[in-house]
């Protein structure tokens, strides 16, 4: 996926790094720090004086919003704006010591849907900024359809979604020039922006939108920012980057991290290993484990075909039987295919089906354009040889369907290998419909 | 609107992806195209000027270029660019092609081009009315006419999937991997496809479903259409709108893959970058339902698709909308092909009579043909038929340089060797091997330096200064005894001929202004015969329409020297035969003519 969420701290850091270029009329103190626990925070206070001198705000920085409604923003001890370094450190230690429940959606102040529970591991700490509600503004930008849309509102803060009717949208084609953009923004400043701030708001919005475009953000939101004359505070930010632009943004983004979202299961070592192999290869190797105890495993060539197999298994066998999703494509080497096959076969032969049924391995694929089928199947055969005993023990039936360059040899080789190894196998070529092996495997 | 491609369509292939190009040429050969579908290859880092590819059992050469602009200049009819640049370069390559103009279709294969760049590229193409296929695609095909790159896979599969000749279905998919599969399904259950495009898997692609379907609606070969969509995006709704507004009237079969996504609220990315559903209406299920409601034929599952295709095809066949197809005869590509070790582009001895650049020898040899040695040189050296003034000039040059007496070093060497009892050929090459920068090289040098000065608008004074800085006496200027008052009559003759027959002589005119300056310094610094020949050759080639690059290449490859070699061979042979006739003894140089100064070797032990 091209659009990847980044931490609030990183979003602020990117803007701060290029601040003078985009916001020459404004200042931003960039007093912000990311820590994992109270000890780190206290350690940081030795070099960053403001941590000792100012009242603080602390909150988790783990890609989820609604932190205020989840009670995860520390801005008061006994009264708003009195959080000391010691308090912030102890609060962070407390919140990071056990799993926390987080709701992603609210109706008013009432949680909507179910909570996700996970450890909080990253916190962002900043000075508390005393300001009036009227100084809070909302701004964001993203791409909708073919156009970039800039959203602006004088009503910043937690309630922006409830007040979405007050948000002004301005959209721009990709070809819009800087002059056109500036002109259109100036002509569309929300009416309820304070008169004294209108000029400043427009200048800030123009710089913001330019930064969004030029720094290859896919989504950029500041909610709210506080404008006090020419002084800006970024109270809360959400950002996504277009990670396909990473190769030309190394300097601009710096060393950026794309964390997994809060509450997502940790990636298993197998998935991480496949990701590593994928990153090193010119071919594509993808693996998602959906339900490791399920009985139907897939090893499908090609992104489109892998979706079709997953669809069909869900339709014909039911979603509970589908163990994994993934694909290999782009003419992987024999070694890469072997590694991919071994990873899947290893996972599927760790335990027997609880209901005593056999397991099914779908080695599927459409008719390849240029991938050498015999070559990739050689890699799969090596994996079968290595895992033959376990596969026989668990009771694995293999269904193969594939076409493309050298497919006859590939099918013949894998059939011979499985027969020699005593593994149950059925092989089919392009004369058999792509997903018909799923129907055969589930006996429908 | 006709189909995307015809049997005459030619493409420029950016990046020398030899495997994909060979697959295209095999396809071309099998379907009986007259010309290869690839006119030129752009290989920015390549050093060669062409690459050999198989054309059926034979081999052909396809020109390689360092950049798109030169390739397009030389192949203006190639109106398709197959951009196989990586995600880092694909944007620049496309933008350059859009700025050059003359391309109707640009296919971009790279996956993961930065979204903002993709959008700019697509917007620019739309503004210029250029169809972009991709990014992140395997391409498209008009069966029996033109096939992009690897699409269709092997020739065996192409024939099995009936992609070698037009059928009646218009196919458009997002996935490139499933394109072949769909073509195969359509071949098994109907009569193949008339036109097909895989639009590409990235979030932003150039031509979307509706663009392709609207074109297919206008293509009379397309009788019904098949759309394979995916979860995510709202492109399928544009198709529904077009059906409702009556813009699409041909039967459409459609299916969106990714119905599984509904089971996984977030985190699992199914399919391509374009395939993340942001809203309920972007799910595969919602789109399948909406399409069915709009009257599109939607199967109950992907597994049910073959049955539905057979049904729609059968109905159209029964109504007589689809006629029977006469299967065309196909040529076959041999399984084992041998690469040729040598290439010859100038003559051919395989036929009844050997030819010089297509002309039987008898048609240029005898006097009644009206052809002379100049014509033979123009055919064998330049593969062109030069006009008479040019072949006459070449002959004049050959005749002029044939000999310059026994004292020049080359002739002297030939004579000494002949007197050592060596054969004609041995004596001749001894003389020829003397030809180089100091002997006979002035022709090349004069052409090179005068052309440089002229091209860079140097005044004669600036030119002299330039040569002084290089530390080289001006090649082609100066004679031992001749001067303005006592002119070299060979030069006079050449100039007279040029004045009379050359369309124009800009470089000679320039050289004469240089001569005015040099002779004002010293009387014998005239434009000599070597200089005149070199300079007039450049004028000749310019008048014949060669590009500056080509002329520079003639100079750097030593073509001018070749005229001197060819001419002087006549003289050297004369001197060798002269020695044989005279039966002169072995030559030994007299002591008196050698200054001996031999010191005792220094002891550095």
pLDDT digits (tens, 9 = 90+) for A207-218: 999 999 999 999
Contact A307 B177 (CB under 8 A): no
Average pLDDT, chain A: 93
Shortest Cα distance from B152 to chain A (angstroms)? Answer: 6
CA distance A377 to A406: 10
The mean-pLDDT minimum among A153-157, A171-175, A243-247, A291-295 falls in A153-157
Minimal Cβ distance to A308: which of B184, B203, B302 = B302
**Residues in chain B within 8 Å Cβ distance of A319:** 260, 263
> d(Cα B504, Cα B508) in Å, to the nearest integer?
9
Within 8 A of B112 by CB-CB distance, chain A residues are: 2, 244
Nearest CA in chain A to B127: A175
- Is 80 exceeded by the pLDDT of residue A160? no
CATH architecture of B166-326: 3-Layer(aba) Sandwich (3.40)
What residues in A contact B267, CB-CB < 8 Å? Answer: 261, 264
Residue range A305-338, pLDDT digits in tens: 999 999 999 999 999 999 999 999 888 999 999 9
* pLDDT, tens digit (0-9, with 9 covering 90-100), for A40-56: 999 999 999 999 999 99
Provide Rg for chain A, Cα atoms.
27
Domain B8-135 top-level CATH class: alpha beta
Chain B partners of A433 at a C-beta cutoff of 8 Å? 185, 303, 306
Question: Do A247 and B161 count as a contact with CB atoms less than 8 A apart?
Answer: no
Whole-number pLDDT of residue B438: 83
Residue to substitute from B86, B110, B116, B179, interface A, most A β-carbons within 10 A: B116
In this structure, what token pair is assigned to residue B497?
A: 């001929």
Contact B177 A319 (CB under 8 A): no
Read off the pLDDT of residues A402-422 as tens digits, 9 standing for 90 and up.
Answer: 999 999 999 999 999 999 999
- What tokens does A86 get? 């010691």
Domains of chain A (ranges, CATH numbers): 3-29+132-253 (3.30.470.20), 33-127 (3.30.470.110), 269-441 (3.40.50.261)
**Can you give the pLDDT at residue B270?**
61
Q: Which two tokens stand for residue A135?
A: 């100084």
Q: Which of B207, B233, B232, B229 is nearest to B296 (CA)?
A: B229
Q: How many CA atoms lie within 13 A of B187 on its CB side?
A: 21
The chain A residue lying nearest B255, using CA atoms, is A308
Mutate to test the interface with A, among B110, B177, B198 (most CBs of A within 10 A): B177
User: Which residues of chain B neighbour A259 with C-beta distances below 8 Å?
Assistant: none
Contacts of residue B476, defined as CB under 8 A and 6 or more positions apart, other chains included, come to: B442, B443, B445, B446, B449, B450, B511, B527, B528, B530, B531, B532, B534, B535
Pick the closest to residue B186 from B146, B141, B238 (CA basis): B141
Q: Which of B75, B164, B272, B479 is catalytic?
A: B272
Report how far Cα A74 is from the mean position of its chain's Cα atoms.
Answer: 26
Nearest CA-CA partner of B562 in B444, B430, B450, B451: B444
Closest Cβ opposite residue A369 in set B153, B173, B230? B153
Contact criterion met (CB < 8 Å) for A366 and B181 = yes
> Cβ(B425)–Cβ(B526) under 8 Å?
no
Pairwise CA distance, residues B133 & B115, whole Å: 15
Residue B269 is predicted with a pLDDT of 59
pLDDT at A123 over 90: yes
| For chain B, domain boundaries | 8-135, 166-326, 409-582
Per-residue model confidence as pLDDT tens digits over B551-566? 999 999 989 989 999 9
Q: What is the pLDDT of residues A65-107, one digit of tens each?
A: 889 889 999 999 999 999 999 999 999 999 999 999 999 888 8
Question: Residues A140-162: what's their mean pLDDT?
Answer: 87
Which is more confidently placed, B247 or A371? B247
Can you tell me which residue has the tokens 């798109």?
B68
Contact B302 A218 (CB under 8 A): no
Measure CB to CB from residue B157 to each of A264, A367, A436 and give the nearest one. Answer: A367
- Flag residues of chain B having pLDDT under 50: 274
Measured between CA atoms, how close is B376 to chain A, in angstroms? 48
User: Which residues of A are less than 8 Å from B150 in CB distance?
Assistant: 369-370
Q: Which residues of A touch B23 (CB under 8 A)?
A: 370
> What is the structure's pLDDT at B215?
96
Q: Looking at residues A8-18, what average pLDDT do you find?
A: 97
Q: Do A433 and B271 touch (CB under 8 A)?
A: no
| Among the listed residues B406, B430, B405, the one whose alpha carbon sits nearest the alpha carbon of residue B417 | B430
Smallest Cα distance from B253 to chain A, Å: 17
Catalytic site includes residue B466: no
The answer to whether A292 and A352 have CB atoms below 8 angstroms apart is no
- For residue A242, the distance in angstroms to the closest alpha carbon of chain B comes to 7
Tokens of A336: 């890469």
């Amino acid at each position: 996926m091209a659009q990847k969420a980044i931490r609030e701290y990183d979003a602020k850091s990117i803007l701060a790094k290029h601040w003078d270029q985009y916001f020459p009329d404004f200042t931003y103190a960039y007093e912000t720090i990311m820590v994992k626990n109270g000890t780190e925070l206290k350690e940081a206070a030795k070099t960053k004086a403001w941590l000792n001198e100012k009242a603080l705000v602390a909150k988790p920085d783990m890609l989820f919003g609604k932190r205020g409604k989840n009670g995860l923003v520390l801005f008061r001890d006994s009264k708003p704006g009195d959080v000391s370094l010691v308090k912030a450190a102890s609060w962070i230690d407390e919140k990071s010591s056990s799993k926390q429940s987080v709701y992603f959606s609210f109706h008013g102040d009432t949680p909507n849907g179910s909570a996700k529970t996970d450890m909080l591991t990253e916190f962002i700490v900043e000075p508390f900024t005393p300001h009036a509600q009227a100084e809070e503004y909302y701004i964001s930008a993203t791409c909708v359809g073919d156009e970039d849309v800039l959203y602006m509102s004088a009503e910043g803060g937690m309630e922006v979604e409830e007040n979405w009717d007050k948000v002004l949208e301005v959209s721009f084609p990709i070809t819009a020039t800087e002059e056109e953009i500036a002109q259109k923004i100036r002509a569309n400043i929300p009416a309820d922006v304070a008169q004294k701030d209108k000029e400043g708001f427009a200048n800030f919005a123009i710089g913001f939108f330019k930064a969004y475009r030029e720094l290859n953000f896919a989504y950029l939101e500041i909610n709210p920012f506080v404008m006090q004359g020419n002084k800006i505070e970024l109270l809360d930010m959400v950002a996504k980057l277009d990670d396909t632009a990473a190769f030309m943004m190394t300097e601009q983004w710096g060393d950026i991290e794309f964390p997994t979202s809060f509450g997502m299961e940790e990636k298993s070592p197998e998935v991480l290993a496949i990701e590593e192999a994928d990153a090193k290869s010119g071919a594509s190797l993808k693996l998602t484990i959906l339900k490791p105890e399920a009985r139907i495993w897939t090893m499908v060539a090609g992104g489109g075909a892998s979706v079709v197999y997953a669809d069909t298994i869900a339709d014909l066998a039911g979603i509970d039987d589908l163990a994994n999703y993934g694909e290999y494509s782009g003419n992987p080497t024999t070694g890469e295919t072997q590694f991919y096959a071994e990873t899947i076969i290893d996972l599927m032969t760790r335990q027997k089906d609880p209901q005593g049924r056999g397991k099914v391995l779908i080695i599927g694929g459409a008719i390849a354009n240029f991938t050498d089928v015999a070559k990739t199947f050689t890699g799969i055969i090596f994996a079968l040889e290595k895992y033959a005993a376990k596969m026989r023990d668990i009771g694995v039936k293999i269904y193969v369907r594939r076409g493309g360059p050298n497919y006859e040899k590939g099918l013949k080789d894998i059939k011979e290998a499985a027969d020699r190894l005593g593994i149950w196998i059925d092989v089919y070529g392009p004369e058999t419909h792509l997903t018909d092996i799923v129907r055969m495997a589930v006996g429908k | 609107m006709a189909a995307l491609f015809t049997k005459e369509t030619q493409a420029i292939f950016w990046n020398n992806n030899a495997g994909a190009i060979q697959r295209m040429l095999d396809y071309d050969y099998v379907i009986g195209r007259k010309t290869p579908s690839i006119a030129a290859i752009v290989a920015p880092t390549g050093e060669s000027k062409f690459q050999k590819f198989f054309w059926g059992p034979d081999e052909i050469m396809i020109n390689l270029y360092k950049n798109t602009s030169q390739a397009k200049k030389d192949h203006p009819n190639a109106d398709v660019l197959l951009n196989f640049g990586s995600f880092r370069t694909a944007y620049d390559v496309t933008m350059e092609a859009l700025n050059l103009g003359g391309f109707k279709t640009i296919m971009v294969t790279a996956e993961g081009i930065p979204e903002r760049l993709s959008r700019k590229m697509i917007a620019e193409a739309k503004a210029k009315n250029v169809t972009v296929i991709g990014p992140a695609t395997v391409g498209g095909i008009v069966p029996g006419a033109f096939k992009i790159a690897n699409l269709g896979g092997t020739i065996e599969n192409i024939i099995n999937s009936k992609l070698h000749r037009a059928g009646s279905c218009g196919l458009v998919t997002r996935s490139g991997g499933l394109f072949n599969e769909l073509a195969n399904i359509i071949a098994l259950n109907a009569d193949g496809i008339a036109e097909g495009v895989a639009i590409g898997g990235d979030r932003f692609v150039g031509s979307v479903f509706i663009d392709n379907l609207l074109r297919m609606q206008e293509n009379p070969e397309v009788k019904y259409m098949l759309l394979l969509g995916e979860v995510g995006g709202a492109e399928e709704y544009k198709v529904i709108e077009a059906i409702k507004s009556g813009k699409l009237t041909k039967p459409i079969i459609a299916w969106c893959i990714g119905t599984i996504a509904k089971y996984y609220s977030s985190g699992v990315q199914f399919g391509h970058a374009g395939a993340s559903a942001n809203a309920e209406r972007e799910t595969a299920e919602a789109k399948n339902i909406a399409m069915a409601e709009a009257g599109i034929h939607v199967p109950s599952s992907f597994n049910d698709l073959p049955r539905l295709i057979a049904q729609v095809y059968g109905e159209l066949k029964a109504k007589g909308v689809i006629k029977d197809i006469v299967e065309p005869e196909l040529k076959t590509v041999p399984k084992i092909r041998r690469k040729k070790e040598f290439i010859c582009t100038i003559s051919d001895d395989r036929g009844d009579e050997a030819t010089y650049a297509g002309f039987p020898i008898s048609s240029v040899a005898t006097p009644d043909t009206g052809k002379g040695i100049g014509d033979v040189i123009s055919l064998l050296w330049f593969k062109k038929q030069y006009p008479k003034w040019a072949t006459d000039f070449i002959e004049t040059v050959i005749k002029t340089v044939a000999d310059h007496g026994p004292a020049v070093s080359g002739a002297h060497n030939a004579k000494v060797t002949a007197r050592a009892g060596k054969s004609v050929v041995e004596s001749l090459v001894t003389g020829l091997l003397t030809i180089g920068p100091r002997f006979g090289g002035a022709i090349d040098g004069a052409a090179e330096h005068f052309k440089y000065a002229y091209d860079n608008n140097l005044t004669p004074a600036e030119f002299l200064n330039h040569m002084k800085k290089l530390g080289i006496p001006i090649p082609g200027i100066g004679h031992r005894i001749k001067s303005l008052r006592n002119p070299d009559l060979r030069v006079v003759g050449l100039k007279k001929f040029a004045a009379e027959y050359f369309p124009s002589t800009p470089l000679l005119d320039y050289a004469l202004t240089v001569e005015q300056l040099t002779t004002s310094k010293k009387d014998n610094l005239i434009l000599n015969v070597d200089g005149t020949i070199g300079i007039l050759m450049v004028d000749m080639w310019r008048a014949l329409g060669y590009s500056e690059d080509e002329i520079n290449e003639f100079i750097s490859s030593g073509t001018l020297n070749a005229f001197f070699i060819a001419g002087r061979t006549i003289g050297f042979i004369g001197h060798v035969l002269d020695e044989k006739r005279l039966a002169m003894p072995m030559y030994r140089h007299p002591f008196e003519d050698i200054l001996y100064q031999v010191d005792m070797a220094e002891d550095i032990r």
